[in-house]
Amino acid sequence: MDTRRLANTAITNISNKNDINQVLETILEVVNALKKVNREDLIPNFIEELTNLLKSDIGAIAYVHTPITLEKAELSEIENKLTKRFNDEIKVIEVEDKKIIGGILIKYKDQEIDLTVNSKIRQIKQSV
């Protein structure tokens, strides 16, 4: 398998600001291709390069953990609110997390905004 071609495709997808799912699928293809040819040692470098490209290309990234897939309009609203709150152009990447009962958990840089049912339950347990 031609890992160089896959790496170039991943970088092209990111540079063209394609759908994040396409980007992630391409990244997984590259990682799997590296595993098949016993070159797992290259995975950290590949991921680091992609991370640097993402940061320089789309700016700051916030990860939004939810138990269900959000609509594009909901993700866009979250992006807009985070951009205003942090005064930074923020791209949202959705992470489906079945451990969350309801609500959302936002991770941005070293901060967490925990608006999950899980955190509310923890707060209630601590206060009892």
Render each residue's pLDDT in the chain as its tens digit; 128 residues. 455 566 666 666 665 655 667 777 777 887 888 888 898 887 877 777 776 666 665 667 888 999 998 998 999 999 999 999 999 888 888 888 889 999 999 999 889 999 999 999 999 999 98
- What pLDDT does 77 receive? 95
Cα–Cα distance, 112 to 115 (Å, whole number): 9
Which segments of 31-80 are extended strands (E)? 60-66
Beta-strand relationship, 60-66 and 90-96: parallel
Q: Is-above-0.95 flag for pTM?
A: no
**In the numeric block, which tokens belong to residue 56?**
């320089």
- What pLDDT does 1 receive? 47
Q: What's the first-to-final CA gap in the chain, in angstroms?
A: 58
Cα–Cα distance, 34 to 39 (Å, whole number): 5
Cα–Cα distance, 128 to 123 (Å, whole number): 9
Cα–Cα distance, 105 to 95 (Å, whole number): 10
Cα–Cα distance, 128 to 117 (Å, whole number): 17
Sequence letter at residue 40: E
